[in-house]
């Protein structure tokens, strides 16, 4: 018998008062090369629990053959899923009925005029039917403060370390 899926508890909205980052969940996804030896162009992305296992392919717009998922799609899906979840938790706490909300995230990969390298631009569009505009705007502002992807994009909280075997 299949168990009914449940939304996360409202306790996730409780404020944390600790002094250090407290991890609640962690996962690792490893990308390895492929036919081209370039993970973005022909690699495979696998999670440590085996639930994610997919081919990465360079999109045709970047000179690739397409036919697979690319990092921008994965980031957009993760950002949209997290932001959608934040909106739902906040709506539930406010005792709002949020039927048919949708979060669309566009991730654009392009050239960065600041350093001549590359950058991502992220546009988030939220559809909340049946809710007054002022209420919807407040929900989105609060979700932006709650969603870790929005916070990461705003604060740049990334730790990169080289490991040599």
pLDDT tens-digit readout, 22-74: 989 999 999 998 888 888 888 999 999 999 999 999 999 998 888 999 999 99
Could you say which DSSP state residue 64 is in? S
Q: Let me know whether 54 and 82 are in one domain.
A: no
Q: Let me know whether 75 and 147 are in one domain.
A: yes
Q: Let me know whether 56 and 81 are in one domain.
A: no
Residue owning tokens 């440590």? 48
Rounded Cα distance between 50 and 27, Å, is 11
Rounded Cα distance between 121 and 25, Å, is 27
Q: In whole angstroms, what separates CA 100 from the centre of its chain?
A: 20
What CATH number is attached to the domain comprising 41?
A: 2.20.25.10
Q: Let me know whether 65 and 90 are in one domain.
A: no
Q: Let me know whether 62 and 92 are in one domain.
A: no
Q: Let me know whether 103 and 121 are in one domain.
A: yes
Banded pLDDT at 123 (limits 50, 70, 90): very high
Residue-range definition of the domain harbouring residue 108: 70-165
Q: Let me know whether 106 and 42 are in one domain.
A: no
Which of the residue ranges 28-37, 98-107, 156-165 would you say has the lowest mean pLDDT? 156-165
Mean of all residue pLDDT scores within the chain: 91
What is the average pLDDT across 18-23?
92
Q: Let me know whether 165 and 111 are in one domain.
A: yes
Query: Residue 47's pLDDT is what?
Result: 96
Rounded Cα distance between 66 and 58, Å, is 6
Query: Residue 34's pLDDT is what?
Result: 83
Q: Please tell me the total count of domains within the chain.
A: 2
Q: What is the largest CA-CA distance in the chain?
A: 56
């Amino acid at each position: 018998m299949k168990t009914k899926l449940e939304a996360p508890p409202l306790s996730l909205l409780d404020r944390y008062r600790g002094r250090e980052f407290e991890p609640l969940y962690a996962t690792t996804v490893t990308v390895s090369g492929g036919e081209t030896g370039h993970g973005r162009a022909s690699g495979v992305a696998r999670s440590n629990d085996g639930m994610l296992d997919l081919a990465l392919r360079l999109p045709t717009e970047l000179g690739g053959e397409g036919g697979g998922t690319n990092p921008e799609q994965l980031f957009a899906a993760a950002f949209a899923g997290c932001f959608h979840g934040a909106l739902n938790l906040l709506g539930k706490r406010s005792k709002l009925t949020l039927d048919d909300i949708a979060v669309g995230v566009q991730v654009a990969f392009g050239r960065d005029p600041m350093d001549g390298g590359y950058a991502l631009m992220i546009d988030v569009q939220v559809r909340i039917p049946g809710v007054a505009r002022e209420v919807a705007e407040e929900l989105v502002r609060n979700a932006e403060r709650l969603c870790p992807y929005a916070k990461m994009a705003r604060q740049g909280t990334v730790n990169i370390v080289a490991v040599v075997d």
